[in-house]
Amino acid sequence: MNRLAKQIKGILFDLDGTLWFRGRVIEGANESLEWARGQGLEVKILTNVDTGTGDMIRERLVKGGLNVRPGEIYTPADAALTFVKQNPGKRFHFLVSRRLTTFFQPFSVADPPSDFVVVGNCRDNLSYDRINMAFRHLYEGAQLVALQKGKYLVRADGYHIDTGAFVTALEYASGQTARLLGKPEKGFFLGCLAEMGLAPEEVLIVGDSVTTDIEGAVSIGAAGILVKTGKYRPGDEETLAALPRWFEVIGSVKQLTQVIGHTG
Ligand SMILES: [Mg+2]
């Protein structure tokens, strides 16, 4: 068995393209999750979906057939909650989805001044007045924080403008650069590890993206496994400037058990 595999106490699975793709479970995803749990490994599923906390978006995945347990999904909204708790006494203004607006209500102020403006996917909650209110908070001295900065995303009905475009509008108007909470920010992975109670050298990141998942593993000092599903394109692994301390490329999450080959 791989010497490095013995050190692994937890796995951070990327969601989109690794366990789940275009609204469906990737073959072998449930079996690999179950296998990891059965080995006593801590399991977390990371996603940049920023419309809800992990437990809010879990329902949709379970309905779609992915066997995810409560507390296993970690999103930028979960990172935002940690950020709020790390800044007691500070005032926050949120430009986020309706359900996250309700969720963060206890920490939120409507009118300026505030210390931080947190922006996430607000497609069900956006108006000129709302984005302008966020701008007014920034103009009066608040710092801009982004759940994530994606440019666009694809949903069942087609392409959608993503959070990054609204964050960029606010950056332009305020002259600020947003602090990022989601992937590929190192703090996103580290915040998740803090919830798991594990150190970077004890975890493996499994994902389909060299730029976020594998470079993320390199940046925190974790092991990395690239899967050839989702957004993977042949040769992606050759674009990496540095490799994780332990790195493998596999066809899909289905082959995970073969490369780890844990104590069983
Ligand atoms: Mg992915």
Distance CA 189, CA 79 (A): 9
pLDDT for 86 equals 93
Q: What is the pLDDT of residues 202-240, one digit of tens each?
A: 999 999 999 999 999 999 999 999 999 999 999 999 999
pLDDT for 264 equals 45
- Decide if pLDDT at 141 tops 70: yes
| Amino acid letter, 126 | L
Residues 59-62: contacts with CB within 8 Å, 24+ apart? Answer: 61/15, 61/20
- Three-state secondary structure readout of 144-165: EEECCCCCEEEECCEEEECHHH
Residues of 178-212 as b/e, b for ≥16 C-beta within 10 angstroms? bebbbbbbebbbbbbbeebebebebbbbbbbbbeb
CA of 115 to the centre of ligand 1 (A): 32
Q: Which residues contact 2 (CB under 8 A, 6 or more apart)?
A: 246, 259, 260, 261
CA of 161 to the centre of ligand 1 (A): 18
Mean pLDDT of 90-95: 98
DSSP string, the chain: --TGGGG--EEEEE-BTTTEETTEEPTTHHHHHHHHHHTT-EEEEE----SS-HHHHHHHHHHTT----TT-EE-HHHHHHHHHHHSTT--EEEE--HHHHHHTGGGB-SSSP-SEEEE---TTS--HHHHHHHHHHHHTTPEEEES---SEEEETTEEEE-HHHHHHHHHHHHT--PEE-STT-HHHHHHHHHHHT--GGGEEEEES-IIIIIHHHHHHT-EEEEESSTT--TTGGGG-SS--SSEEEESSGGGHHHHH----
Mean pLDDT of 28-57: 96
What is the distance, to the nearest Å, from the Cα of residue 199 to the centroid of all Cα atoms in its chain?
18
pLDDT for 40 equals 94
- Decide if pLDDT at 262 tops 80: no
CA of 229 to the centre of ligand 1 (A): 9
Position 1 confidence tier, pLDDT thresholds 50, 70, 90: low
pLDDT for 157 equals 87
CATH number at 87-180: 3.40.50.1000
CA of 19 to the centre of ligand 1 (A): 9
Instruction: Indicate the burial class of 91 (C-beta count within 10 angstroms; 0-12, 13-18, 19 or more).
Output: middle
Of 164, 203, 157, whose CA–CA distance to 10 is shortest? Answer: 203
| Residues, CB-to-ion distance under 5 Å, ligand 1 | 14, 16-17, 208-209
pLDDT for 158 equals 87
Q: What is the pLDDT of residues 163-180, one digit of tens each?
A: 999 999 999 999 999 999
CATH number at 4-48+183-260: 3.40.50.1000
Distance CA 221, CA 200 (A): 6
CA of 1 to the centre of ligand 1 (A): 28
pTM here is 0.92
Task: Give the start-to-end residue ranges of the domains of the chain.
Answer: 4-48+183-260, 87-180
CA of 16 to the centre of ligand 1 (A): 4
